[in-house]
A and B are shown apart, each in its own frame.
Chain A
Amino acid sequence: MKKIFSLFLVLTLILISGNLFSQDLDALLNAQTKPTINYATATFKASRIINGHSIQQMKKKQLDFRISHRFGTLNEGGYGLWGLDHSNIHFSLEYGVTDWLMVGLGRGSNHKIYDSFAKFKLLRQSTGAKEMPVSLSFLTSVEAVSEHFPTTPIQLTPTTTTPRINYFSSRLTYVSQLLVARKFNDKFSLQLTPTYIHRNFVPTELDQNDIIAMGAGARYKLTKRLSINAEYYYTVNPNAKYLDTRYYNSASIGIDLETGGHVFQIMLTNSQGMREGTFIPQTTDNWLDGGIHLGFNISRVFAL
């Protein structure tokens, strides 16, 4: 019995080792290939979803030159060619210092605002050897209004006035955002963007110095090079109505069209501002009465 058992054992072992001798090259190769981490790439096509930042950023030594326009409102009618008579322009240079840090400088014609920002990649969505359900970035930006201060004195009472004392700090707005994004599949991506904005100086007592908002943006790819995007910023504590000026949440819908080194973004939005400090707290047009701006962003990327 013992002999039979040992014979059986030897036979089995020989069979196993025989198998190993003729082990398929494919299996051998797979055993030698390191497990990889598959990072989610191209969650969005550009560094903006529409107005606000997306989780995308320039990789190291890549420079993005962006030109954006927002025309007037559609409800200007035929006399103003449905808003095309008015154009606000913004342009910026944005650069990847490292794969995880991007910085940018820009200038917008609306209120002559200069802006600068830094975007830090904190987490990257991945599967495989490392699992991470979402990508996370932090955005910090400073915007400076360069428009001249009003020269009219401040009216204290109907009969008394006092001259203005202007400080440089009154020109500044600070923006902080967390960008939390997930690419659900090849076509659909979603991003949530909790936002805190601090304005050093606001026009009236009715305006808030500190604004809290929550942004949500999504894209759906129709083809490999065309996607439809939507973006909404809900302002938790909006500015109160002042005279004829009412403030609305920013809502936008658009498409991204990619052609080689360019990304064209064409959108309809109720915001004329193109930076967080303006389009989140200062959107004064309303979709429901035709306060809709046609606009576009053009991104051209250079490898330096």
Chain B
Amino acid sequence: MSELAAGTLTTSVGEIDLRRGGRGGPVPLVYLHSAQGEGEGMTMLEALSESREVLAPLFCGFGTSEGIESIDDIEDAAFWALDLLDRLGLSSVDLVGMSLGGWIAAELAVRWPERVRRMVLVNPVGLYVEGAPIKEIFGRDLSELAGELFADPEHPIAQLMRALAQFDADPSQIPFDLIRPVLQSQAATAKVGWNPYLHDPKLRRRLHRITAPTLVVHGSQDGIVPRAHAEAYVEGIADSRLEVLDGAAHMATLERPDEVAKLVLEHLA
């Protein structure tokens, strides 16, 4: 397996951080990341790139991607994704979206269904489901949050989060270079997801517009997004099905790369 190559793409809002690699498949596969901004060195993407051309852009405010000042809400994010496809000259793609990225994928697919051939949403946010609230991700104790994002407490990111939590009383002890990207990506997530909290009240009644056959993956141990959200997506999207990944937590694309890659490839085949 080889790592995706780092690069940039000029879009209407500025330079975007874009990783790409691999070849094959009827259309390119675009991976939209979660609020963690994952992409670099990601095992799952490398696995996918063995048989597919994979593109992994970073949303505004993540990594070196510019243009967050042009983003005010999730609709702006959908237009950002559309602009990205246009700049890449892609009339149709397969979309794989993780959490926040799943939400952006769905917002794109309800507006421009013809641009999405097939779609996989992994623990997506984006909907409001009464009685099944999405857990707070902002302002949380990081060691607690780590336990909800990751099934394995020894995952490197979970370990890092617990280490950072030690400095809660005096954050001046943390090297600032370590938290700068976290601050930036959280601010970007807040821009689209603070209120309404990680959902778009109009999205559910638009889901019927999606034509792409869609697989919704839910991690049975997801501490952030309840299963009812995955079910609501499946209920709203005509050609869709639910796959429950037993024992997986929220960050399933990081923790269970091989299984998720297998599900993705099967669905996109």
Asked if chains A and B come from one complex, the reply is: no
Chain B interfacial positions (CB closer than 8 Å to A): none
